[in-house]
A and B are shown apart, each in its own frame.
Chain A
Amino acid sequence: MTLDDLASSCGEWLRGSGPESDIVISSRIRLARNLADFPFISRATPADRAEIEKILHGRVEAMRDSGKAPKDLLYLRVSDLPAVDRQFLVERQLISRELAENDGARAVVVDPGERFSVMINEEDHLRIQVMHSGLALQAAWEQANRLDDLIEEQVTYAFHERLGYLTACPTNTGTGLRVSVMLHLPALAITRQIEKVFKSLHKINLAVRGLYGEGSQATGDFYQISNQVTLGQTEEDLAKKVADVVPVLIDYERQARDFLIRESHETLHDRVSRAFGILRTAQTISSEETMALLSSVRMGINLGLIGDLAIPTVNKLLIHTQPAHLQKLSGVELDQSDRNIERASYLRRHLNGDGNGKAARN
């Protein structure tokens, strides 16, 4: 298994088959951990970082050899990868932008099925993350917990009796847990209710972010909802708090969709059809426009306005049309204007069946 094998495949979280997956794209659990006998990353010298990476690499190899970890685990030294590969891993949500752009020795362990990845030397020494399709927070937490136990057999974590797991940023102290769900909420956006929803989420201490986490724009009406508090509650309670709010959001989104279908059926159908039309015929198209149009198409499929196109295909297109994916898939480096041409061509190939336009039936 290599990084190039990942490019043509499609990870578990994009399968689009989990519970409530018309609206909930994925469920994620992240645990922040640090080794007890090294400074945190901000105070670690290049030699410290190299040493941490070396130790953890050794532990991963040992776990592979003893059968505790799968044989086909991928260990990628991110600091040695070319920029396009790093960007590819970010687009695939296997690593954060911070890990892609940091200095010094850093790596990521990737499950070939893309159900989990472990970042080494990001903001903390270890960032364990588990990704499941649809609404499956409990299952994701259980898997993250098991992974954490496995790693803990190999290293000594920085832990404080009263404060719990110690992290570089005090916002993660305690459990080091970030519970998040990625939701597709186009109807709430169209009906301009999304801001109101976000305000009430802020009030109960939940954060809202864009597709690519901290500081990213909410492109294509995809939003990540996650906990902000990490200390003073159990992991199960923190996961439950996010899990409890999701059905409410799903209900709001469904109501907004019903409202649109009922009150402005033609306008909605027109919007979806035009989006589909542009995606199938454009000759050059930006990443942002693609995301926005795919968002409409995705909702259109869920509302039965578009037939013969499956949600997993749309999920795949959302990721495969991003800049680094396009370049990995076409095997050549492309500048922005070439990428826009290649993206349009990729979309036409995948949305027009064999090029005879049979993919769609409106």
Chain B
Amino acid sequence: MKCQKCDRQATFHITDLIDGEPNELHLCEQCAQAFLTPSQEEAQEVLPAMAGLLAQHLAVGETADELARLDQRACPVCGITFLQFRKQGRLGCPHDYVFFEKELEPLLLSIHDQTRHIGKAPKRCPHGADQQTQLIRLRREMKEAVAAEEYERASELRDEIRTIEAGFREVKKEG
């Protein structure tokens, strides 16, 4: 049997339902693939918001060079690169929102249509946010120091972490 859309051999036999009525289609592999692949519009409806949006954003307005350079930028706190974020769709730490602010802005805008939060805020404001992110960085550096067997450095880092943590406990008691 010949494919209904070209001259190749039909190897796919598809029953399509149009308004509840079965409609037989006999297609070759290529035409079947084209038939079964959702159109751009359909695909966007089905795709999880993230993947679709990321692809959309990063494909437009950036040249390959710019994209490559952007991908290599790494957050100084958690170490995630923009490429890693693009691949997994998950950010690495709170500081990424600051470090990748420019890149995330259009993404947030197309997901939420807004870029400013107007809802609930913690009553006890996380003052010292810088110190919080510093803790993430210090813990990472300490682990690296231990792995490299630089124990003196690791112990200095541990003291630094403890000082900051003790500071938070003081603030908490006062609050």
User: Which A residues lie at the B interface, using CB under 8 A?
Assistant: 34, 36-43, 45, 47-48, 123, 145, 148-149, 152-153, 156-160, 162-166, 168-171, 173-175, 177, 192, 199, 202, 214, 228-235, 238
Contact = CB atoms under 8 A, between A and B. Distances in A.
20 contacts: A37-B132, A38-B93, A40-B91, A43-B78, A43-B79, A43-B92, A145-B120, A152-B124, A159-B122, A160-B94, A162-B115, A163-B97, A168-B91, A169-B91, A170-B111, A175-B119, A214-B48, A228-B49, A228-B111, A234-B120
A39 B143 contact: no
Contacts of A192: 20
Contacts of A177: 119
B35 to A, nearest CB: 19
Contact of B121 (A159, A214, A232): A159
B104 interface: yes
**Closest 9 A/B residue pairs (Cβ):** A232-B114, A164-B117, A43-B92, A158-B94, A231-B112, A36-B132, A39-B93, A37-B135, A42-B90
Nearest to B75: A43
Contacts of B107: 170
A32 to B, nearest CB: 12
Contact of B119 (A38, A199, A235): A235
A63 to B, nearest CB: 15
A170 B115 contact: no
**Interface of B, helix, strand, loop or mixed by DSSP:** loop
A39 B136 contact: yes
Nearest to A199: B45
A228 B80 CA distance: 26
Contacts of B139: 48
B122 A232 contact: no
A151 B140 CA distance: 26
Most buried by A among B94, B132, B136, B143: B94
Contacts of A148: 120
Contacts of B123: 149, 152
B88 interface: yes
**Interface of A, helix, strand, loop or mixed by DSSP:** loop
B143 A45 contact: yes
Given A43-B80, A152-B123, A164-B119, A169 B50 contact: yes
Given A152-B122, A152-B124, A42 B92 contact: yes
Contacts of B89: 169
Given A37-B135, A156-B132, A229-B111, A47 B78 contact: no
A175 B116 CA distance: 11
Contact of A171 (B50, B119, B129, B133): B50
A120 B97 CA distance: 22
A164 B97 CA distance: 11
Interface of B: 20, 45, 48-50, 77-80, 88-94, 97-98, 104, 107-108, 111-126, 129, 132-133, 135-136, 139-140, 143, 168
A173 B129 CA distance: 17
A177 B135 CA distance: 27
Nearest to A34: B94
Contacts of A163: 97, 108, 115-117
Given A39-B92, A170-B108, A232-B112, A157 B122 contact: yes
A174 B116 CA distance: 8
A153 B124 contact: yes
A171 B97 contact: no
B154 to A, nearest CB: 13
Contacts of B104: 170
Contact of B117 (A45, A149, A168, A231): A231
Contacts of B122: 152, 156-157, 159
Contacts of B140: 39
A297 to B, nearest CB: 25
A74 to B, nearest CB: 27
A45 B126 CA distance: 24
Nearest to A38: B136
Contacts of B77: 39
B25 to A, nearest CB: 21
A324 B114 CA distance: 42
B118 A170 contact: no
B117 A232 contact: yes
B166 to A, nearest CB: 13
Contact of A234 (B49, B98, B118, B126): B118
B120 A235 contact: yes
A45 B93 CA distance: 12
